Amino acid sequence: MPIKLIGRTTDFKGKPLWEIVANLKNFGVGRLVIRNRFQRYPEPCYMKILKVAGMPLPDRPYTDRKVIALVEKVFRGNRSSKPVQLDSSTYKADYVLVPKDQEHIFLNNTKVMEKRILPRVTDFPPLFSQLIINQMKAKGIAVSAEPKLNLRYNLAATDFKSYRVAEESETPTVKLNFKMDESSSLFPKPEETAAS
């Protein structure tokens, strides 16, 4: 009798990491594992297992066991400089083991994602900018250029990130705008706007 699933659907497809690793020789050290969720990218995303340690069984029933695994992570073609520890996400039923004869598909894929260069600074909100200028004038500081807001990015694990912050002299490739992007397909075409 076929199994009929009831309830909310999920995007995950695979097994928890423990179910894969526990059935392998030497707990699968040296094997490739992928997260199915990351296979939407054309660049290769995979993990090579370096070390495994099981966690105690969970207290609550019907929850999957967790594992601590040290892996060499490749995300969108970028290899991490340090080994990465997987722990809290290992219960997710989204891991798939790559058979040994298919490992070359991932290892030989040399595509690397393009790194976007993000701006260091941006404009203040217009009224706030005027406020700052007025305050500077009141303090007697000469206002040579419009004040700029230093942008803050999440710069943890920059190896994988698809972006980096522009250097002092560099021109950023991405603009921080809050409108519809011109590169988007949803951007109204000029002739349409003219007609309407």
Q: To the nearest whole angstrom, how small is the minimum distance from the Cβ of residue 93 to other proteins?
A: 17
Interface mask toward other proteins for 109-128; x: CB under 8 A:
-------------x-xx---
Which of 186, 189, 191, 194 binds other proteins (CB under 8 A)? It is 186
Q: Which of 123, 113, 111, 122 is nearest to 172 (CA)?
A: 122
Measured from the CB atom, is 143 or 176 closer to other proteins? Answer: 176
Cα 108 to Cα 16, 41, 45, 50: the distances in Å are 26, 15, 12, 20
Residues of span 7-46 touching other proteins by CB under 8 A:
7-9
User: What is the number of alpha carbons within 13 Å of residue 72 lying toward its C-beta?
Assistant: 10
State the DSSP H helix or E strand holding residue 136, giving kind and residue range, or none if neither: helix 126-139
Q: If binding is defined by CB under 8 A, does position 167 make contact with other proteins? A: no
Q: If binding is defined by CB under 8 A, does position 184 make contact with other proteins? A: yes
Q: Which of 28, 40, 37 is nearest to 103 (CA)?
A: 28
Q: If binding is defined by CB under 8 A, does position 151 make contact with other proteins? A: yes
195, burial (CB in 10 Å: exposed 0-12, middle 13-18, buried 19+) = exposed
Q: If binding is defined by CB under 8 A, does position 180 make contact with other proteins? A: yes
Question: Which residues of the chain form contacts with other proteins (CB under 8 A)?
Answer: 6-9, 122, 124-125, 149-153, 176-178, 180-181, 184-186
